[in-house]
Structure 1
């Protein structure tokens, strides 16, 4: 019975700290300083979705907040400088977009097709999966085995000294 209580308590804590699978903690400093009253206060870039952003709603204590994921209108991406949804060319999103030319050329069928460097974490790489339209793709972060880093030249996880990703 005690084990069941511990498991349920752990699930509740996890659910409180994640929203739609997003582990995001609203910055207490911003909440205290701005009270989230201004039109651009308490708005943050989504950590891995260009077409979404995070709005922090203040909790009753006035010091903490709960994150709510919001989606930009279709075709727009988050611009963290203006704290608004904007055209992709003006977006501040630095995430990899699957290159249309590569998807059209290869259909991502070969074992080394549609694989790219993840500049945010060299212990991983990006694999693009083709969307039903056959022209666009969805980037998926894939892990390298422990101790290896991405080698984009050979399109494999490799020893650090041979890796092309260096941070």
Structure 2
């Protein structure tokens, strides 16, 4: 009988110490906490009971999240010393199970892939913009470190006129240039690197104003572009007239 009592006491003591250890990992009864030395592992606490979990491959534990505790690396500042990560789980389409990845080389910067559970979904940036892996956004190509803006846009900025002590500083460090292929497109050169700007469907680039203008004020547009612009303006005018009648 004494042995049974002692054994029961030892079991209770062991269970109590384990419960205290689990509870010690929990700062609150319900919530999450980081794991020392890891950026993608975390402690999940439910009713004071702690369980170590791992974020899906490609995501990191986000201590600041108020919902799902795993986020893309751009949203997480992992300051764990000698932080370790789980081994990558690549597929035929993706380098990690989750993440955003640019496609193409330095002259083809406008596509990116979103990987979700190992499946890759390809997206195109709006025309003239490049995928920026530093911000997870489509950006001006001259702002993307590994994008060759000139090759990507098919336009090379002419050299700026040399500065002269007699003439003083140049008035502008950017210049405007029409597209030779499309009157509704122009380029702005900033510090010698181009950005592509598109006008509205019923507008075109006016070289005298250095901005988009009514297509009727731009004589160098083709007849097809003019006809399309006139059609769009007529449709808008008809829609506006219909709204006025309803009011």
TM-score range, shorter chain: 0.3 to 0.5
When the two structures are superposed, what TM-score results if normalisation uses the length of structure 1? 0.36
Structure with more contact order per residue of length (Cα contacts < 8 Å, sep ≥ 6): 1
Structure with larger Rg: 2
When the two structures are superposed, what TM-score results if normalisation uses the length of structure 2? 0.26
